[in-house]
Amino acid sequence: MRKRKICMGVLFLAVLFCSRLQFILAEEVRQVSLEEVLSIGNLDDNILFQWAGVAVDSQNYIYVTDAMDYCLKKFDCQGNLQKKIGRKGQGPGEFLAPRLLDCSRAYIYVTDQYVPGFQVFNKDLKFQHRIPLRMFINDFKVISDSEIAVAAVTSDQTCRILVLNTKGEVIRKFHYSEKKSSLMMNWIDFDFDSRKNLYIAYNFQDKIVKFDPQGKKLWSHSLMKMKHVKKKKIGSFIVPCEIVYKDIAVDSTGKVYVLSGEFSKNPSRDVYVLDPEGKQKAALTLPEGSHCIYIDGSDFLYSRAGDGITLKKYRIIDSERQAESMNK
Amino acid sequence: MRKKCKNLNKLLILVVLFAVILSLNASFVEAGGCENAFMRCVDDPISSISMVGGVVCIIGYVFCKKYIER
């Protein structure tokens, strides 16, 4: 009986110690705040109807795809509409469902959900040419004027990022996972930092991964501490029903911003801020849910509001970053 | 006493089995808006002829999950 009491006591102390240790080891996560600096579109002005993609060029012009207006729009840094191009159709400069976009120094590249490949426009939104591809695109980033990195949707479920030239020819292939997984489970969003390191956020897995420019995996982290997402059988497909991460973006200092999906406290609003080593250092919460985040060259963050009729631009107010810049 | 213990073990096994079955079922959830849209897309004979397999439906499904659902 006495032995039992001693054992219970030791067990209790061990549990207490472990919980305290966990508390001590857990690093403090700062809450970063946002200051709204620009808002484009509202219910009254008919400027945006359902924007899907956003990109900002080196002169701070903002380019937006508007899915319900079937067009590509260009705004100046004050949010004034400069130009728009497009209508419903499949001809040059026409769209069925414009989605992703990114810009190089000279061109804007735009995808369409129903048409594989890219349409290329110059900065005046004049249609230049089409880059035909056989595969559809899940995500892409323009690396330079001559290279585009594409997460392609392939029928064999392989996990590849293809680097294409401006003719759409594959220059390099990069396998980000050796495992073949079930439908959509290997879908990703990705971004590069200034050193060409690659950051990947899986849409339906709790996984953020970093690769160096040579393709060596540097780290892999799970922020949600979850194992599986729920799935549903639809026709002959078994599809994942819960999205874990919606987007990933890297700022000029190498901080990684990950937009949460359904598993965070504030779904589609919580953004986790990781350092280049993958440790979570801070978090911020968007005022409204967004399908994507974009960080421009001056480290302003763009996200959705008003169910797609508004594009918001925010200054990221991070006390640590301010202290760093003061020291410099 | 021994019989009682055996019964308790059986009950425990049943409870564990029940829990396993429940958790397996939980991984297939009720259809939401995006799931319904995906179902309509893959069942649509016109779209299945004009589209490359179900790829367009899949792309639309992921966009819907990101855009619509919170």
Residue B25 sits in the same domain as residue B43: no
Domain residue ranges of chain A, discontinuous segments joined by +: 30-48+194-328, 49-181
Please give the residue range of the domain that contains residue B38: 31-70
Cβ-contact A322, A315 below 8 angstroms: no
B35 lies in the same domain as B66: yes
Contacts 24+ apart (CB under 8 A), A166-170: A166/A120, A166/A131, A167/A131, A168/A117, A168/A118, A168/A131, A168/A132, A168/A133
pLDDT tens per residue, range A171-223:
998 888 877 777 788 899 999 999 999 999 999 999 999 999 999 999 999 99
Q: What is the pLDDT of residue B11?
A: 62
Do B23 and B35 have their domain in common? no
Q: Superfamily for A49-181?
A: TolB, C-terminal domain (2.120.10.30)
Q: Do A262 and B70 touch (CB under 8 A)?
A: yes
A209 in reach of chain B (CB within 8 A): no
The string of pLDDT tens digits covering residues B14-70 is 555 444 443 444 434 445 789 999 999 888 776 665 556 578 888 899 999 999 876
pTM of the model as a whole: 0.83
pLDDT of residue A22: 45
Instruction: Express each pLDDT in A70-85 by its tens digit.
Output: 999 999 999 999 999 9
SS3 A51: strand
Could you tell me if B28 lies within 8 Å of chain A, comparing CB atoms? yes
All residue ranges of chain A with pLDDT < 70 are 1-2, 7, 10-28, 154-158, 321-328
Enumerate the β-bridge partners of residue A260: A245
Q: Do residue B28 and residue A239 have CB atoms under 8 angstroms apart?
A: no
Quote the minimal CA–CA distance from B5 to chain A in Å.
23
The total number of structural domains that make up chain B: 2
Are residues B35 and B24 both part of a single domain? Answer: no
| Closest A-chain CA to B63 | A291
